[in-house]
A and B are shown apart, each in its own frame.
Chain A
Amino acid sequence: MSPRAQVYILAALLALMGAGLTIYKNVELGFPLLPGEYRTVWTIEAKVRFNADGGPAKAALTLPRAQRNMEVLGETFSSSGYGFNVIREDDEYRAVWAKRQASGVQSLFYQLDVHQTPGAALEQPLDLSTKVVAPLLGAREQEAVRQAIFSLVGTARERSSDTRTFTSELLTALGDNRNQDRNLIFGYYKDRSFVDVALLVLAAADIPAHRIRGLYLEDDRRRLDPEDLLEIYDGKRWVVFEPLSGSPGVPKNFFIWQRGGKSLLDVEGGRDSGVTFSVISNDVPARDVAMLSTSQEKEALVDFSIYSLPIEQQSIFKLILLVPVGALVVVLLRVFVGLRTSGTFMPVLLAIAFIETQLFTGLAIFVLILILGLWIRFYLSRLNLLLVARIAAVVVTVVILMGAISVVSYKLGIEQALTVTFFPMIILAWTIERMSIVWEEDGPYEVVIQAGGSLLVAVLAWWVMTNRYIEHWTFNFPELLLVLLGFIMIVGNYTGFRLGELARFRQLVR
Chain B
Amino acid sequence: MQLPSFLRGGLVSPFQLRRLGVLGMNARNVHYIARYNDRDKYPIVDDKLNTKRQAKRYRIPVPELIAAFETQPSRTRVMGVIEPLEKFVIKPARGSGGKGILVIVGRDGDEYLKPSGSKVTALDIQRHVSNIHSGLYSLGGKPDRVMIEALVDFDPVFDKYSFEGVPDIRVIVFRGFPVMAMLRCSTHDSDGKANLHQGAVGVGVDLATGKSCHAVQRGIRIDKHPDTEMPFSDLVVPGWQELVRLAASCYEMTGLGYLGCDIVLDRKRGPLLLEANARPGLAIQIANGVGLRTRLEHIEKMDLEQLEKNVEERVAYSMDYFSAPPLV
Assess whether A505 is in contact with B22, with CB atoms less than 8 Å apart: yes
Q: Which of B16, B99, B135, B286 contacts A504 (CB 8 A)?
A: B286
What residues on A are CB-neighbors of B286 within 8 Å? 504-505, 507-508
Complex: how many Å from CA A507 to CA B218?
Answer: 10
Scan A486-503; emit 1 where CB is below 8 A from any B CB, else 0: 000000111111110111
Assess whether A387 is in contact with B11, with CB atoms less than 8 Å apart: no
Assess whether A495 is in contact with B130, with CB atoms less than 8 Å apart: no
Residues of B within 8 A of A (CB-CB), count: 40
Assess whether B130 is in contact with A505, with CB atoms less than 8 Å apart: no
Write 16 A-B pairs (CB below 8 A) sorted by A numbering: A335-B26, A338-B25, A430-B141, A433-B136, A437-B136, A443-B191, A497-B17, A499-B11, A501-B24, A505-B22, A505-B285, A506-B11, A507-B220, A508-B20, A508-B289, A508-B290
State whether A509 and B16 are in contact (beta carbons under 8 Å apart), knowing that A387-B131, A387-B135, A504-B219 are contacts in the complex.
yes
Q: Which 8 residue pairs of A and B lie closest in terms of their CB atoms, listed nearest first?
A: A387-B134, A495-B27, A502-B11, A497-B24, A497-B14, A506-B12, A509-B12, A495-B30
Q: Is the CB of A441 closer than 8 A to any CB of chain B? A: yes
Q: Is the CB of B10 closer than 8 A to any CB of chain A? A: yes
- When C-beta atoms are compared, the residue in chain A nearest to B9 turns out to be A503
Main secondary structure of the interface of A (DSSP, over half): helix
In angstroms, how far is the closest chain B Cβ from the Cβ of A373? 16
- Tell me the chain B residues, 18-45 only, with Cβ under 8 Å from chain A: 18, 20, 22, 24-27, 30-31
- Tell me the chain A residues, 227-278 only, with Cβ under 8 Å from chain B: none
Assess whether A387 is in contact with B10, with CB atoms less than 8 Å apart: no
What residues on A are CB-neighbors of B119 within 8 Å? none
What residues on A are CB-neighbors of B285 within 8 Å? 505, 508
- When C-beta atoms are compared, the residue in chain B nearest to A4 turns out to be B30
- When C-beta atoms are compared, the residue in chain B nearest to A502 turns out to be B11
Q: Is the CB of A384 closer than 8 A to any CB of chain B? A: yes
Chain A, interface residues (CB within 8 Å), range: 20 to 34
State whether A502 and B134 are in contact (beta carbons under 8 Å apart), knowing that A495-B26, A495-B30, A507-B221 are contacts in the complex.
no
Complex: how many Å from CA A284 to CA B16?
Answer: 57
What residues on B are CB-neighbors of A386 within 8 Å? 130, 134
Q: Is the CB of A442 closer than 8 A to any CB of chain B? A: yes
Known: A387-B136, A430-B141, A508-B286; 7 extra A-B contacts, CB below 8 A, are A437-B137, A495-B30, A498-B25, A501-B22, A505-B286, A508-B285, A509-B16
Complex: how many Å from CA A503 to CA B12?
Answer: 7
Q: Which residues of A contact B (CB under 8 A)?
A: 335, 338, 381, 384, 386-388, 430, 433, 437, 441-443, 492-499, 501-509
Assess whether A494 is in contact with B11, with CB atoms less than 8 Å apart: no
Assess whether A493 is in contact with B25, with CB atoms less than 8 Å apart: no
Q: Which residues of B contact A (CB under 8 A)?
A: 10-14, 16-18, 20, 22, 24-27, 30-31, 99, 123, 126-127, 130-131, 133-137, 141, 191, 198, 216, 219-221, 282, 285-286, 289-291
Complex: how many Å from CA A499 to CA B10?
Answer: 11
Complex: how many Å from CA A395 to CA B25?
Answer: 35
What residues on B are CB-neighbors of A507 within 8 Å? 216, 219-221, 286, 289
Assess whether A496 is in contact with B24, with CB atoms less than 8 Å apart: yes
- When C-beta atoms are compared, the residue in chain B nearest to A430 turns out to be B141
Q: Which of B30, B99, B216, B219 contacts A441 (CB 8 A)?
A: B99
Complex: how many Å from CA A335 to CA B134?
Answer: 31
In angstroms, how far is the closest chain A Cβ from the Cβ of B167? 19
In angstroms, how far is the closest chain B Cβ from the Cβ of A506? 5
In angstroms, how far is the closest chain A Cβ from the Cβ of B262? 18
- Which of B13, B22, B99, B290 lies at the interface centre, i.e. has the most chain A CB atoms within 10 A of its CB? B22
What residues on B are CB-neighbors of A430 within 8 Å? 141
Complex: how many Å from CA A50 to CA B20?
Answer: 94
What residues on A are CB-neighbors of B127 within 8 Å? 381, 384
Complex: how many Å from CA A509 to CA B8?
Answer: 14
Complex: how many Å from CA A442 to CA B193?
Answer: 10
What residues on B are CB-neighbors of A493 within 8 Å? 30
What residues on A are CB-neighbors of B289 within 8 Å? 507-508
In angstroms, how far is the closest chain A Cβ from the Cβ of B241? 28
Assess whether B134 is in contact with A494, with CB atoms less than 8 Å apart: no
Assess whether B290 is in contact with A498, with CB atoms less than 8 Å apart: no
Assess whether B219 is in contact with A501, with CB atoms less than 8 Å apart: no
What residues on A are CB-neighbors of B221 within 8 Å? 507
What residues on A are CB-neighbors of B134 within 8 Å? 386-388
